[in-house]
């Protein structure tokens, strides 16, 4: 498509958003419409960390329009800060070396997740060109993903890293010198190890391996020898936390055996002795986490997350600190962050549902708390909406925890609603500030975030209940039942509900639109997989161990039974069921959910006549890290939801953002698929509708010349179309009679009067064929001199009739120049469904015995590579009866050609 036409299409799309759904009557009672940048623009300051020596504070802040690392003296104002990095892609995370000499950070290219590790010396002179000190790439290896394994205090100039440059599936363990970048191999990972645990001295002591059946195995590392010391099944959890200060025991999180919820234990790898430290005192949820002192290496607190977070001090000093902070700080969840090596200074974050958070510097010696910054100081928290924990019953009686955010200042009755499904899926939503929930509530939507079965944190029974339950099982049912909860409680308008999510949440969006199409008015899929077969076949190589877990939790595409279920659970294969408009958002470089996943569903939706919009960011991966990309995405989402749900949207945007948004929108008509996927889509997409009302009773006389292996045969045929009755209903009856040297054959087909879909077929001559077409099924019998064959075929999508019935369906299509469509015919001999693509390539004057006509030239292409390709010349005026045809004969007939022309029309 020309660029100007693409821009015109985008303008028409955004300019007519309110044409379909009227604004909601309650919108004028909402708080002020808040600028999208307040929610999704780059925070003014974020990600603060103290240098271990307490001299500096580092943080993330935009530099030259991109999130980068800044530094200031601990007592300096933020205005005195200077940038440390000048990356063109936002820095995702960083940390200090243990001796406060270097700031280390990771960076990839365009979202490909091949992270490299960089080191910056804060005391080095800045480069005049960039304004920042030079950053050294410590892992300059192509197609390599570096992971930081440990930063021992005893070796502050050396850290432990994993690198997969030797084998992309597995990370070898290296000691990396921060001054020189020299790496020393500690363990060549030829045992398919997925994780490593070091003691407090930096010695490799344990390794984790995923077994062939998906379970976990902890191994003791004795030089080159690996000894299994702890095992749990794929449906259990056992993972190391850190070594105890005594150097003998290791903290484990486990629910091995009879316990449903995970607990914290101490395990001795030498003796196998296991000692319980703690499990949830309220018995509600899994073990949440542990806080250790950097100074004493002792456990000082544990925490659990149910509806809210609960903290349990294990140390008197920590308990006093916690009590003091709660008297000094606003109500909310307290998170302890970076601390100095002597633990005199600690960063404490306070976050709550209506506040994205504030960071305080706590001086433990002076008992002084100082506000450092608010992450979004311009966001008016008084206009944000409270988030409440709710629980609803699933259809099988299970209790499903969720969070509900309701628009402020309006009665929660008959609201437009968005079901926001979390990714993972082995993750969960939490109480607290959620930018999507708050943004959508400000636009007038009730927002439900369900922790469906398969979510983590609620015990292994709850987690394992989601195994292989994607799309058509309880994982999706729990989301669906959450929608029914909103409807039955009166909160949501049944006609105004959308589903939205990223990653697995994007998949759940597509599954919701596919398997419960009556439930949703719109859907937004962000980097969501659409085809579980291709998803599992294209996971990154460094997920080799995770693949074994996927076999249990999702399915194995190489197992015949699993493959059938995965196809049944994949929205791509059933996209003809989608009715609601769809917005698809994708990062072009996503290594987890490949762009093909979104391409597939866009093509499927397009071919099925679904309204679909497509956004692709060329410089992003699994999620949008860049600010302009993020703002463009949210602008597209809010306009899309306003169009189909009637909520509010911010009509204004900068010229830069508007241009960027346009640049990311992809015309769905230009999206193509690889040949194998195109064939799969053709076999399952919606059929183009035909108009049976265009037809009139007619008799057509044809002559066909067959040229086979140097011989020529001429056949005459008569085609009679008339109204008839079948099972008491008026139908079209088409009878083809062909006179051949060995006798006459008759082929009769009955089709629906309005849709021209086949109902029944009976052919007789050298043999007899009976076929009955029902929803999702074809049955019948074929008798020939070779014997009798029963016909039973389950259909994944509707088909049209073969032979004359195909021509009849063609006669009722809304043909025009450039028209394209895919039809499927059932081959009774092979008992296969064959997709045929037809394209109107132009018009031509045809002079035949029946007269001179203006004809559409229709090219037929058998997408499975079999017979049936050729050219049809059909009457330009409806009904589009065949005037002339040039077809290739199948190999079983000796190959050759068949040329047909119309002799007369009565």
Please write down the long-range contacts of 698-703, taking CB distance under 8 Å and 24 or more positions apart: 698/881, 698/905, 698/906, 699/905, 699/906, 700/881, 700/902, 700/904, 700/905, 700/906, 701/850, 701/902, 701/903, 701/904, 701/905, 701/906, 702/900, 702/901, 702/902, 702/903, 703/849, 703/900, 703/901, 703/903
- Which tokens go with 211? 């077994």
How many helices, marked H, and strands, marked E, lie in the chain? 15, 50
* 690 in Cβ contact with 809 (< 8 Å): yes
Please give the DSSP secondary-structure letter assigned to residue 431.
S
Q: Which residues pair with 621 in a beta bridge?
A: 623
Packing angle, helices 474-488 and 504-515, rounded to 10:
70
- Which tokens go with 243? 């070594």
- Nearest 5°: the CA angle 791, 794, 795 is 120
Choice among 280, 321, 590, 807 that is catalytic: 590
218 vs 240: CA distance, rounded Å = 8
State how far the alpha carbon of 795 is from the alpha carbons of 241, 425, 714, 792, in Å.
Answer: 51, 31, 36, 10
Please give the DSSP secondary-structure letter assigned to residue 423.
S
* 683 in Cβ contact with 796 (< 8 Å): yes
Please give the DSSP secondary-structure letter assigned to residue 330.
-
3 state SS of 695: coil
Quick one: CA torsion of 425, 431, 433, 438, rounded to 10 degrees?
A: 80
Choice among 216, 338, 503, 611 that is catalytic: 503
Phi, psi of 720 (to 5 degrees): -115, 125
Cα(first)–Cα(last) distance of the chain, in Å?
44
Locus of tokens 């995970």: 262
690 vs 735: CA distance, rounded Å = 20
403 vs 447: CA distance, rounded Å = 8
Phi, psi of 386 (to 5 degrees): -65, 145
* 472 in Cβ contact with 667 (< 8 Å): no
The CA R_g of the chain, rounded to the nearest whole Å, is 33
CA 574 to the chain's CA centroid: 16
* 874 in Cβ contact with 821 (< 8 Å): no
- Which tokens go with 99? 């001796």
502 vs 427: CA distance, rounded Å = 12
User: Burial of 245 by CB count in 10 Å (0-12 exposed, 13-18 middle, 19+ buried)?
Assistant: middle
902 vs 379: CA distance, rounded Å = 74
* 133 in Cβ contact with 111 (< 8 Å): no
Peptide bond before residue 425 is cis, with ω within 30 degrees of 0: yes
Clarify whether 503 is annotated catalytic.
Answer: yes
Clarify whether 590 is annotated catalytic.
Answer: yes
Which residues have a catalytic role annotated?
503, 590, 622
């Amino acid at each position: 498509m020309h660029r100007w036409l693409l821009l015109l299409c985008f303008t028409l799309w955004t300019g007519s958003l309110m044409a379909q759904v009227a604004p909601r009557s309650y919108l004028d009672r909402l708080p002020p419409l808040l600028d999208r940048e307040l929610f999704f623009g780059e925070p003014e300051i974020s990600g603060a960390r103290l240098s271990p020596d307490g001299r500096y504070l580092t943080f993330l802040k935009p530099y030259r329009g991109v999130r980068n690392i800044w530094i200031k003296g601990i007592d300096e104002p933020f205005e005195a800060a200077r940038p440390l990095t000048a990356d063109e892609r936002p820095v995702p995370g960083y940390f200090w070396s243990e001796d406060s000499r270097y700031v280390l950070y990771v960076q990839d290219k365009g979202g490909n997740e091949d992270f490299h590790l960089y080191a910056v010396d804060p005391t080095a002179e800045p480069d005049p060109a960039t304004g920042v000190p030079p950053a050294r790439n410590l892992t300059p290896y192509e197609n390599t993903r570096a992971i930081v394994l440990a930063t021992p205090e005893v070796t502050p100039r050396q850290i432990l890293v994993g690198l997969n440059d030797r084998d992309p599936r597995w990370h070898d363990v290296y000691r990396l010198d921060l001054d020189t970048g020299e790496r020393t191999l500690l363990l060549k990972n030829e045992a398919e190890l997925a994780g490593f645990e070091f003691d407090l001295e930096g010695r490799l002591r344990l390794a984790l391996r995923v077994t062939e059946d998906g379970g976990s195995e902890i191994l003791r590392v004795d030089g080159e020898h690996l000894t299994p010391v702890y095992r749990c099944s794929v449906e259990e959890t056992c993972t190391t936390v850190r070594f105890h200060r005594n150097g003998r025991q290791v903290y484990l999180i486990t629910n091995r055996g009879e316990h449903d919820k995970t607990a914290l234990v101490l395990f001795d790898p030498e003796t196998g002795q296991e000692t319980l430290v703690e499990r949830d005192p309220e018995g509600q949820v899994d073990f949440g986490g542990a806080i250790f002192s950097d100074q004493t290496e002792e456990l000082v607190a544990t925490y659990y997350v149910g509806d809210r977070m609960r903290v349990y001090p294990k140390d008197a000093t920590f308990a006093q600190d916690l009590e003091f902070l709660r008297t000094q700080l606003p109500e909310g969840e307290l998170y302890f962050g970076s601390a100095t090596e002597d633990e005199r200074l600690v960063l404490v974050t306070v976050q709550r549902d209506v506040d994205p958070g504030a960071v305080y510097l706590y001086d433990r010696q002076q008992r002084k708390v100082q506000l450092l910054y608010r992450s979004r100081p311009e966001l008016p928290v008084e206009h944000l909406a409270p988030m409440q924990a709710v629980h609803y019953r699933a259809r099988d009686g299970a209790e499903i925890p969720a969070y509900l955010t309701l628009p402020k200042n309006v009665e929660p009755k008959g609201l437009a609603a968005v079901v926001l499904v979390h990714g993972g899926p082995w993750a969960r939503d939490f109480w607290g500030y959620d930018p999507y929930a708050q943004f959508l509530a400000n636009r007038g939507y009730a927002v439900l975030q369900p922790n469906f079965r398969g979510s983590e944190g609620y015990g292994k029974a709850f987690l394992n209940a989601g195994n292989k339950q994607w799309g058509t099982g309880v994982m999706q049912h729990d989301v669906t039942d959450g929608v029914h909860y909103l409807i039955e409680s009166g909160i949501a308008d049944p006609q105004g509900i959308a589903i939205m999510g990223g990653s697995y949440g994007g998949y759940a969006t597509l599954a919701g639109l596919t398997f419960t199409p009556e439930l949703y008015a719109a859907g937004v899929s962000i980097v969501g997989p659409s085809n579980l077969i291709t998803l599992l076949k294209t996971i990154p190589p460094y997920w080799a161990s995770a693949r074994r877990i996927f076999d249990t939790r999702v399915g194995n595409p190489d197992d015949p039974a699993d493959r059938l279920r995965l196809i049944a659970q994949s929205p791509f294969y059933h996209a003809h069921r989608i009715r609601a408009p769809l917005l698809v958002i994708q990062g072009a470089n996503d290594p987890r959910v490949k762009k093909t996943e979104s391409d597939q569903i866009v093509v499927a939706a397009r071919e099925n006549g679904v309204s679909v919009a497509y956004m692709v960011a060329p410089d992003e991966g699994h999620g949008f890290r860049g600010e302009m990309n993020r703002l463009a995405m949210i602008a597209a989402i809010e306009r899309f939801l306003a169009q189909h749900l009637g909520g509010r949207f911010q009509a204004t945007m900068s010229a830069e953002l508007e241009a960027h948004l346009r640049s990311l929108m992809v015309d769905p008509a230009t999206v193509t698929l690889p040949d194998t996927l195109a064939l799969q889509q053709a076999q399952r997409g919606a059929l183009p509708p035909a108009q049976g009302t265009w037809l009139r009773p007619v008799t057509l006389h044809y002559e066909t010349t067959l040229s086979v292996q140097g011989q020529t045969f001429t056949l005459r045929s008569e085609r009679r179309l008339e109204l008839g009755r079948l099972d008491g209903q008026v139908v079209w009856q088409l009878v083809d009679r062909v006179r051949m040297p060995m006798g006459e054959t008759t082929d009769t087909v009955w089709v629906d009067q309005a849709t021209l879909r086949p109902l029944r077929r009976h052919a007789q001559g050298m043999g007899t064929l009976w076929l009955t077409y029902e929803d999702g099924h074809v049955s019948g019998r074929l008798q020939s001199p070779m014997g009798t064959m029963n016909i039973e075929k389950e259909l994944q999508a509707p088909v049209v009739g073969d032979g004359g019935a195909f021509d009849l369906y063609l006669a009722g299509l809304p043909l025009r120049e450039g028209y394209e469509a895919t039809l499927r015919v059932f081959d009774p001999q092979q008992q296969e469904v064959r997709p045929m693509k037809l394209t109107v390539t132009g018009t031509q004057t045809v002079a035949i015995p029946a007269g001179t006509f203006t004809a559409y030239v229709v090219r037929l292409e058998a997408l499975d590579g079999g017979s049936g390709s050729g050219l049809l010349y059909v009457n330009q005026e409806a009904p589009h009866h065949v005037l002339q045809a040039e077809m290739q004969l199948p190999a079983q007939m000796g190959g050759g050609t068949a040329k047909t022309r119309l002799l007369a029309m009565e």
